[in-house]
Amino acid sequence: MSRYSQLGFMDASSLVMEQLIFFHDHAMVVLVFIVFLVGYLMVYLMFSSLMDRNGLDGQVIEIVWTILPAVILVFLALPSLRLLYLMDDLGSCFLTIKCVGHQWYWSYEYSDFVGIAFDSYMLPADDLEIGEYRLLEVDNRVIVPSGLDVRVLVSSEDVIHSWTVPSLGVKADAVPGRLNQISFHVMYPGVYYGQCSEICGANHSFMPICLEGVDLNSFMTWVKGVESSEEF
């Protein structure tokens, strides 16, 4: 679907986001079922009362509105609990990145490697090249390997921020004095954008997140190049 006519979620680029979209569609089916059932009962009872007929007696109604909601909750709770477990199950990750929010930019540190730490600022509109997105491009992208699990440790230096990448299905509050952690699995190489999702001040909308997924060989080449240079 073209991005100019998209009505649903962004295309999923991680396993968790795929499951989130599936659960959303599942919940919408249940919601449509509830709306049609309640609407049918209301119309049926209204016409029954207008025609001086007994609709459903009290005992039947009590049984229906006691058992049916319980069944509906089961159909919603089981996939929801499974998804919560998948989102919280970090397991062993190939790479750990420390992310610290500032007013108004992000700082990143690759704790598994020596000397890879940098700040990530939004690019001004005058510095954008053809094909780059206004308010979303940054000077230093977060490079991660695709096909492998990545852990991000999120905190803040000043106020509450929120590190969010919608297409990966990840969102974590960056709270001063507290360390939150999330993990994701980039399925395909590409560039993924996000923004701070917490109102953190006057320039809240000017601290984007730009994450680039590359294959493992390209990632290790980038790491060696950064470690051997003074780029950051």
Beta-bridge mates of residue 191: 212
Position 2 in a domain: no
Structure tokens at 3: 């991005």
Residues contacting 11, CB < 8 A, separation 6+: 167
Domain total of the chain: 2
**pLDDT tens-digit map of 159-204:** 999 999 999 989 999 999 999 999 898 998 999 999 999 998 898 8
Position 22 in a domain: yes
Least confident of 37-41, 87-91, 100-104: 87-91
pLDDT exceeds 50 at position 1 = no
Structure tokens at 223: 């790491």
**pLDDT tens-digit map of 115-127:** 899 999 999 988 8
> For 177, which DSSP code?
T
Confidence of residue 92 (pLDDT cuts 50, 70, 90): confident
Position 217 in a domain: yes
* CA dihedral sign of residues 57, 59, 60, 66: positive
* The pLDDT value given to residue 226: 80
Contact call for residues 130 and 185 (beta carbons, < 8 A): no
Position 131 in a domain: yes
* The pLDDT value given to residue 54: 58
**C-alpha–C-alpha distance, residues 118 and 232, integer Å:** 6
For the residues 94-113, what does the mean pLDDT come to?
Answer: 93
pLDDT exceeds 50 at position 131 = yes
Are 57 and 130 found together in one domain? no
**C-alpha–C-alpha distance, residues 191 and 132, integer Å:** 11
Are 159 and 100 found together in one domain? yes
* The pLDDT value given to residue 2: 46
Are 83 and 100 found together in one domain? no
Position 109 in a domain: yes
Instruction: Enter the pTM of the model.
Output: 0.80
pLDDT exceeds 70 at position 95 = yes
Beta-bridge mates of residue 109: 98, 117
Which among 42, 71, 88 is the end of a domain?
88
Contact call for residues 110 and 116 (beta carbons, < 8 A): yes
**C-alpha–C-alpha distance, residues 140 and 107, integer Å:** 10
Contact call for residues 187 and 170 (beta carbons, < 8 A): no
> Which residue segment(s) compose the domain that 195 sits in?
95-227
Are 66 and 42 found together in one domain? yes
Q: Give the CATH number of the domain where residue 143 resides.
A: 2.60.40.420
* The pLDDT value given to residue 108: 96
pLDDT exceeds 70 at position 56 = no
Q: Which secondary structure element, helix H or strand E, spans residue 210, and what is its range?
A: strand 208-214
Position 201 in a domain: yes
Which among 88, 119, 140 is the end of a domain?
88
- What's the chain's average pLDDT? 86
